[in-house]
A and B are shown apart, each in its own frame.
Chain A
């Protein structure tokens, strides 16, 4: 079974379409329950259900884009570190990259839809409000006006396109070598992949931070945090690792990747465990510095979340789901080596880091009008089914195991 190819059956496609349909139904249900008519929120801004829908679209898009790019990043660190253990499973994160071009188009389209078509001059990004830059005007904002050199639409779009072009380019380059390796064998393709992986890591080191500033941090335009790039990267990384692990386990349980052993799972589990702790470390570092320094323009970010009826319970749940739970649950060796434990943790962490992004994006965009309802679940299912469809289709494009990977034998005998 080592050369088996994944078959994307009609039945799986049907299930994904049912998921998509369920997501759309739930979203419509959510629109009805949120209410179609305008009402005022606490700050005097008019609220419309489209605001919440748009904020959700942006949230899910950023989250799923992150999972896709983390697939490529995970692959790249395996090559850069000359890792042997992952040779057997490397085609799974490799398939994630196919979402990137789609994500690029989606992000571009959603940027225009969510920022320029909503009623009541609603923007996801506060800095798009042109009245902020009119010197002497009522709305003139000295701080935001000073950020205009970085936060303006042409440069923003240029960066957005640059990220996706660079990420996709590096991904397709790595993928090309990977497919060629299947045909030709030898170690030459591996060396080429190692170089392109290193280049990708250097690109991603910069773009993971800047894309975090652009897509999420700039929602709260006044606020700034030097930890933010790392914070969002770690959240993406844990979510991506969870999706990779869950995909591998589900494939294994459906008869693929039968040479997978508990040591592979152990390593994946260690990755998830370690980066959950890393996420908590970054999250807490950001929180504690702001808490300790007590500067008003920084603390309001946490006040919005901790002193809010809508977000406070989720704020504490976030720490519990993403740190306390995986920390205690995955601590033992046995938990990391058994699929059932990993499945529970992966599902919890995928939800948990979606919640983390929810807490990054929602308070700054729709403040107290947010919440987790049918709309949130529905749109998550819509994006998840889209990602899953592309992922499974990409998995079927190439054999599940890179049969000529120079370290495949080492991976098959992986033992820790």
Chain B
């Protein structure tokens, strides 16, 4: 084995062939690391067995944080730290706080969600992108199989990819 990460890439040119190939390959016990596509393929999440993203939960929690921060800030500023009479209202009057609370909920909710998305997708400024095949931004669908996590023999995986309809089978290594 070479150093770093070694992948076998199955290059497909038709999404229908890919969609039937994925279940075949998964049934034979091979773990697919990722499938790259230049366009969204309907139903691919289901056949790949992807679980639904938990990002909405993060968004909800960050939104709640925004609501709480906005209310605490306004009640403290307007009610405690520097009370002012505005329009004859109470110092701390909830209806007047709603617009700011709404805006901060949206702001912190969305910023938090983007942040979480960057973290879980491993998108950082100094990250080196792994480019498996340049054609995944053009017209090819590429299935990447990590050799290290699969116990199966390399030749066997190649054979399986061939029978399931891959146009080309390539290898790609990345140094860690």
Q: Take A292-B87, A294-B88, A331-B60 as given contacts and tell me if A415 and B43 are in contact as well, using a CB distance cutoff of 8 Å.
A: yes
Are B99 and A288 closer than 8 Å at their CB atoms?
yes
Instruction: Tell me whether B95 is interfacial, beta carbon within 8 Å.
Output: yes
User: 4 additional contacts, CB 8 Å, given A288-B99, A294-B88?
Assistant: A288-B98, A291-B95, A292-B89, A292-B96
Task: Name the one of A287, A294, A333 contacting B87, with C-beta atoms under 8 angstroms.
Answer: A294
CB distance from B149 to the nearest CB of A (A): 30
CB pair A415 B96 closer than 8 Å: no
Size of the A side of the interface (Cβ < 8 Å), in residues, is 11
Residues of A within 8 A of B56 (CB): 332-333
CB distance from B54 to the nearest CB of A (A): 12
With CB as the reference atom, state the residue of chain B lying closest to A334: B52
Closest to B42 in A: A415
> Least Cβ distance of B165 to chain A in Å?
23
Does A288 lie within 8 Å of B95, measured CB to CB? Answer: yes
Q: Per-residue CB proximity of B18-56 to A under 8 Å, as 1/0?
A: 000000000000000000000000110000000010001
State the Cβ distance, B88 to closest chain A Cβ, in Å. Answer: 6
A106 CB → nearest B CB, Å? 38
A284 contacts chain B at the CB level, 8 A cutoff: yes
Write the nearest CB–CB distance from B51 to chain A, whole angstroms.
Answer: 13
Find chain A residues with CB under 8 A from B89 CB.
292, 294
Give a binary string over A271-300; 1 marks a CB under 8 Å from any B CB, 0 the rest. 000000000000010011001111000000
Contacts of A331 in B (CB 8 A): 60
Chain B: minimal CB distance from A167 (Å): 35
* Chain A positions within 8 Å of B60 at CB level: 331
Residue of A287, A293, A333, A415 touching B95 (CB-CB under 8 A): A287
C-alpha gap A415/B43 in the complex (Å): 8
| B43 partner residues in chain A, CB cutoff 8 A | 415
Residue of B nearest to A285 (CB): B99
* Alpha-carbon gap, A388 to B95, bound state (A): 40
List residues of chain A with CB within 8 A of the CB of B42.
415
**Which residues does chain B contribute within 8 Å of A294, judged by CB atoms?**
87-89
Residue of A nearest to B99 (CB): A288
How far, in whole Å, are A291 and B60 apart by their CA atoms in the complex?
Answer: 30
- Complex CA gap A415/B40 in Å reads 12
Q: How far is the CB of A333 from chain B (nearest CB, A)?
A: 8
Alpha-carbon distance A340/B52, docked complex (angstroms) = 21
CB B64 to nearest CB in A, in angstroms, measures 12
A415 to chain B, nearest CB (A): 5
A294 to B96, CA, bound (A): 12
The CB with the most chain B CB atoms within 10 A, among A292, A331, A332, is that of: A292
Question: A288 contacts B87, CB within 8 Å?
Answer: no
Q: Which residues of A contact B98 (CB under 8 A)?
A: 284, 288
Could you name 11 residue pairs across A and B whose Cβ atoms are closer than 8 Å?
A287-B95, A288-B95, A288-B98, A288-B99, A292-B89, A292-B95, A293-B87, A294-B87, A294-B88, A333-B52, A415-B42
Nearest CB of B to A286, in Å: 12
> Across the interface, which residues of B come within 8 angstroms of A415, CB to CB?
42-43
Contact with B along A304-338 (1 / 0, CB 8 A): 00000000000000000000000000011100000
Instruction: Collect the chain B residues with CB atoms within 8 Å of residue A333's CB.
Output: 52, 56
Residues of A within 8 A of B87 (CB): 292-294
Contacts of B52 in A (CB 8 A): 333
**A292 and B88 alpha carbons, distance in the complex (Å):** 9
> Cα distance A58–B173 when bound, in Å?
75
How many angstroms between the C-alpha atoms of A293 and B96 in the bound complex? Answer: 11
List the 6 closest A-B pairs by CB distance, nearest first: A291-B95, A415-B42, A288-B95, A294-B87, A292-B87, A294-B88
